[in-house]
């Protein structure tokens, strides 16, 4: 058994003991009440899911396991997947074994490239990523084991196998999508001497600079997971809860990530910064920039990269990217504009609409595009693919743990307007 598998098994035992304790102490205790506004309002604020891979604290941001963003942001993505799924970082030997496993599984079947090359030239790269993974569904070891009647207690082990096979192929898949969609179509071979993010940087074929590989590492670490209720993670979990295998579930999660209110938002941020650059120049005066922001707001648009459904402070992932930018591309005009926006926008949003904006602070998207731009990745449509490659780690870890804990199919109850009206009438 690999160290990763052992680590997950131990983690599942710990989590199960905690759940037993929770149930013994108060299985029927109420932790959240649902009002009618929430039924019609995207279930915002309803506590209805348990997710042990990560947690977003409104005031201190993302935790993976017990670690804050500051504490995990210098790690490798492989270490992060270990942490997400076992609750612990791997030791050196376990990390090397895991990396070697990934290397052995990195080859993409030729039919995937045939599918992707047959699509219309202007197909969105997120469609290609989702479809690329879905096209490999026939390879699912979970599906095959299920058909042979595997035990429920073994589900997670086969989902781990599927996860490893999917994760291993993501750098080549994303790199290939980039080359087919934006390059000359020539694919760069996987290099087994490189780690997971190093291979992604290598197979994109955009930039050989070490800084770019460092950025890919940071990017893949920071976007890995954001608890269980966000659109993509929740979608992936719902689909997998029906025992659709991880190829289906990961593809479904990516389809959610492709939405402009979720993962696609990151491409809007760089577009916004480039517009400022075009209209106001590389180093806009603070008062002029302030007036520009107010114009954008008054014309009914949001400021991309600012605000968050859960966070109420500057996203620590934004800070990690800003620190990277200070070290690696402090003179880049987009980075400088992104920094200037950070010094102006929160104050404006705080007073906008009588303080209606719940969080005037920047989220992770406000900075990432400027850094990608610095290293020559200027195809906005590709940004969500990078986000997606990282987020698949969270989808996989969440689903493996949920299966290991024997969680049932997800099926909340919906009601009709008539039902709600009758309930209100009955209450008087």
The secondary structure element, H or E, covering residue 57 is strand 54-57
* 91 tagged catalytic: no
Identify whether the C-beta of residue 199 lies closer than 8 Å to the C-beta of residue 173.
no
Q: 124, 262, 277, 381: which one is catalytic?
A: 262
Q: Which residues make Cβ contacts (< 8 Å) with residue 21, sequence separation at least 6?
A: none
For ligand AMX, the closer of residues 19 and 344 by Cβ is 344
CA distances from 274 to 37, 271, 330, 336, 419 (A): 38, 5, 17, 11, 49
* 308 tagged catalytic: yes
Query: Shortest gap between Cβ of 263 and ligand AMX (angstroms)?
Result: 6
* Three-class secondary structure of residue 38 per DSSP: helix
Cα–Cα distance, 237 to 243 (Å, whole number): 10
- Laid out side by side, the sheet with 61-64 consists of 54-57, 61-64, 67-68
Query: Shortest gap between Cβ of 265 and ligand AMX (angstroms)?
Result: 3
For ligand AMX, the closer of residues 31 and 261 by Cβ is 261
Identify whether the C-beta of residue 115 lies closer than 8 Å to the C-beta of residue 131.
yes
Query: Shortest gap between Cβ of 268 and ligand AMX (angstroms)?
Result: 7
Query: Shortest gap between Cβ of 199 and ligand AMX (angstroms)?
Result: 25
Query: Shortest gap between Cβ of 417 and ligand AMX (angstroms)?
Result: 22
Site residues for ligand AMX per CB under 6 A: 261-263, 265, 297, 302-309, 349, 356-359, 363, 365
Cα–Cα distance, 154 to 156 (Å, whole number): 6
Identify whether the C-beta of residue 197 lies closer than 8 Å to the C-beta of residue 217.
yes
Q: Which residues make Cβ contacts (< 8 Å) with residue 87, sequence separation at least 6?
A: 7, 11, 14, 52, 65, 66
For ligand AMX, the closer of residues 168 and 303 by Cβ is 303
Cα–Cα distance, 86 to 162 (Å, whole number): 17
What residue is closest to ligand AMX based on CB?
A: 307
Query: Shortest gap between Cβ of 302 and ligand AMX (angstroms)?
Result: 4
Residue 339, class by beta-carbon neighbours within 10 Å (0-12 exposed, 13-18 middle, 19+ buried)?
Answer: middle
For ligand AMX, the closer of residues 56 and 239 by Cβ is 56
- Which tokens hold the place of 426? 């009955």
Q: 308, 315, 347, 374: which one is catalytic?
A: 308
* Three-class secondary structure of residue 229 per DSSP: coil
For ligand AMX, the closer of residues 176 and 369 by Cβ is 369
For ligand AMX, the closer of residues 180 and 220 by Cβ is 220
Query: Shortest gap between Cβ of 402 and ligand AMX (angstroms)?
Result: 22
Residue 30, class by beta-carbon neighbours within 10 Å (0-12 exposed, 13-18 middle, 19+ buried)?
Answer: exposed
Query: Shortest gap between Cβ of 157 and ligand AMX (angstroms)?
Result: 32
Cα–Cα distance, 339 to 374 (Å, whole number): 14
For ligand AMX, the closer of residues 162 and 365 by Cβ is 365
* 202 tagged catalytic: no
Q: Which residues make Cβ contacts (< 8 Å) with residue 108, sequence separation at least 6?
A: 132, 169, 172, 173, 176
Paired residues of 62 in beta bridges: 56
Q: 225, 226, 365, 374: which one is catalytic?
A: 365
Residues with a known catalytic role: 262, 308, 365
């Amino acid at each position: 058994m690999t160290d990763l598998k052992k680590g997950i098994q131990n983690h599942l035992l710990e989590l199960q003991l905690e759940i037993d304790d929770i149930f013994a102490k108060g299985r029927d205790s109420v932790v959240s009440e649902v009002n009618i506004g929430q039924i019609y309002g995207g279930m915002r604020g309803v506590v209805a899911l348990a997710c042990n891979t990560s947690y977003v604290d409104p005031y201190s941001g993302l935790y993976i396991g017990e670690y804050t963003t500051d504490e995990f942001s210098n790690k490798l993505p492989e270490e992060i997947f270990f942490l997400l799924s076992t609750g612990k970082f791997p030791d050196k030997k376990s990390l090397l074994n895991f990396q070697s496993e990934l290397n052995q599984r990195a080859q993409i079947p030729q039919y995937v490239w045939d599918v992707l090359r047959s699509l219309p030239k202007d197909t969105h790269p997120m469609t290609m990523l989702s479809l690329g993974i879905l096209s490999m569904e026939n390879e699912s070891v979970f599906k095959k084991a299920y058909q042979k009647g595997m035990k429920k207690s073994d589900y997670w082990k086969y989902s781990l196998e599927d996860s490893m096979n999917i994760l291993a192929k993501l750098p080549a898949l994303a790199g290939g999508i980039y080359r087919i969609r934006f390059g000359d179509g020539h694919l760069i071979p996987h290099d087994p001497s490189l780690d997971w993010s190093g291979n992604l940087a290598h197979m994109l074929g955009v930039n050989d600079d070490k800084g770019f590989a460092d950025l890919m590492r940071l990017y893949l670490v920071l976007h890995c997971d954001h608890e269980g209720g966000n659109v993509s993670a929740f979608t992936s979990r719902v689909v997998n809860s029906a025992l659709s295998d991880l190829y289906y579930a990961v593809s479904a999660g990516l389809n959610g990530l492709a939405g402009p209110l979720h993962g696609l938002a990151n491409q809007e941020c760089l577009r916004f910064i480039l517009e400022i650059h075009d209209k106001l120049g590389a180093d806009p005066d603070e008062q002029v920039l302030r007036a520009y922001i107010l114009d954008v707001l008054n014309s009914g648009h949001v400021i991309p990269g600012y605000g968050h459904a859960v966070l109420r402070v500057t996203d620590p992932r934004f800070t990690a990217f800003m620190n990277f930018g200070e070290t690696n591309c402090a003179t880049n005009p987009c980075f400088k504009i992104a920094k200037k926006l950070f010094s102006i926008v929160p104050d404006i949003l705080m007073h906008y609409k009588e303080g209606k904006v719940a969080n005037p602070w920047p989220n992770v998207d406000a900075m990432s595009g400027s850094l990608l731009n610095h290293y020559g990745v200027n195809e906005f449509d590709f940004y969500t693919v990078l986000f997606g490659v990282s987020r698949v780690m969270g989808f996989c870890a969440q689903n493996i743990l949920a299966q290991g804990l024997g969680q049932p199919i997800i099926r909340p109850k919906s009601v009709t307007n008539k039902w709600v009206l009758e309930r209100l009438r009955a209450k008087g």
